[in-house]
Amino acid sequence: MVSGSALSAAAKQAEQLRKDGNIYFKKDRFGAAIDAYTEAITLCPNVPVYWTNRALCHRRRNDWLKVEEDCRRAIQLDYSSVKAHYMLGLALLQKQKLDEGVKELQKALDLGRGANPKGYMVDEIWQELAKAKYMLWEHASSKRSWELQSLKEACEAALREKHFLDDSQPEGFLDEAGISHMKQLEVLRQVFRKAGEADIPGEVPDYLCCKITLDIFRDPVITPSGVTYERAVILDHLQKVGKFDPITREPLDQSQLVPNLAMKEAVQAYLDKHGWAYKLD
């Protein structure tokens, strides 16, 4: 049985190794950092930050298999680890497991917003999530486009065949059949144009965009004045400019901001239908 003093000594040594690893990491000495974190893990294997720190080194080396392994272990120890879910999501994307990767990035984003909505990681995670969701949309859009084109060509061929059969009718019916055929072709083309509209990039409606950044909302909050802003942007305004609503000029404190869940649902519904809107400029 290990004594309490021995455990305490091991924990102190492991923590020093973590600090050493951090110094090596800042100097881009990733091999030395990995060695230090590995020693810390050997001494105290149940500390999740040692695993995520080592995973970050593997990420810098593009060793995504080891990133995945370390992040999964960190999540077992601490399911609320933002960094673990984030880097696991990136590792899964590298393996072209887009759906699984998006799920992990979304989890990281939700956890990050709860812990520090203004933190740099929240914006970084959202950008990676947006890129991944745009990739998913691209794949799905290409598939839909091909399927629609194939179906359109089959329908046009069927109409041409019908028109050919109609041409075998007595002479008095030919003009009427030709006019009917042209009308049917035009209706068919309109139907397929309408079916493909959702996949054609356009402009995001103004009501779904922040009045300051003019970008589509990610984490909308509403003020007592009824104006909705992007959370990180309005928090930055309150901190750097002043405690007032930038639109109405009414006094405003951070504690008065309330998540605009209706707007968040509207944005998500729009993105689900128009995946091209995930594309970042």
pLDDT tens per residue across span 109-155: 999 887 665 566 888 999 999 999 999 998 888 888 888 888 888 88
With a cut of 50, say whether residue 1 has pLDDT above it: no
Q: What is the pTM of this model?
A: 0.75
Confidence of residue 6 (pLDDT cuts 50, 70, 90): low
Min mean pLDDT across 15-19, 33-37, 99-103, 192-196 is at 192-196
Q: Write down the pLDDT at residue 68.
A: 97
For residue range 209-248, list pLDDT tens digits in order. Answer: 999 999 999 999 999 999 999 998 999 999 999 999 999 9
Q: Which segments of 100-212 are extended strands (E)?
A: none
What's the Cα-to-Cα distance from 141 to each of 89, 146, 165, 276, rounded to whole Å? 23, 9, 36, 9
57-71, 127-141, 210-224, 261-275 — which one is most confidently predicted on average? 57-71
Distance CA 92, CA 99 (A): 9
CATH number assigned to the domain covering 204-276: 3.30.40.10
257 pLDDT band (50/70/90 cuts)?
very high
Superfamily, domain 2-116: Tetratricopeptide repeat domain (1.25.40.10)
Q: Kindly state the average pLDDT of the residues 173-198.
A: 75
Q: For the chain, give the percent of residues with pLDDT over 70.
A: 89
pLDDT at 145: 85
Q: With CA atoms as reference, report the closest residue to 254 among 262, 264, 263, 245.
A: 245
The yes-or-no verdict on residue 170 having pLDDT over 60 is no
For residues 201 and 276, what is the distance between their CA atoms, to the nearest angstrom? Answer: 6
| CA distance linking residue 270 with residue 275, whole number of Å | 8
Angle at 257 between CA 253 and CA 261, to 5 degrees: 175
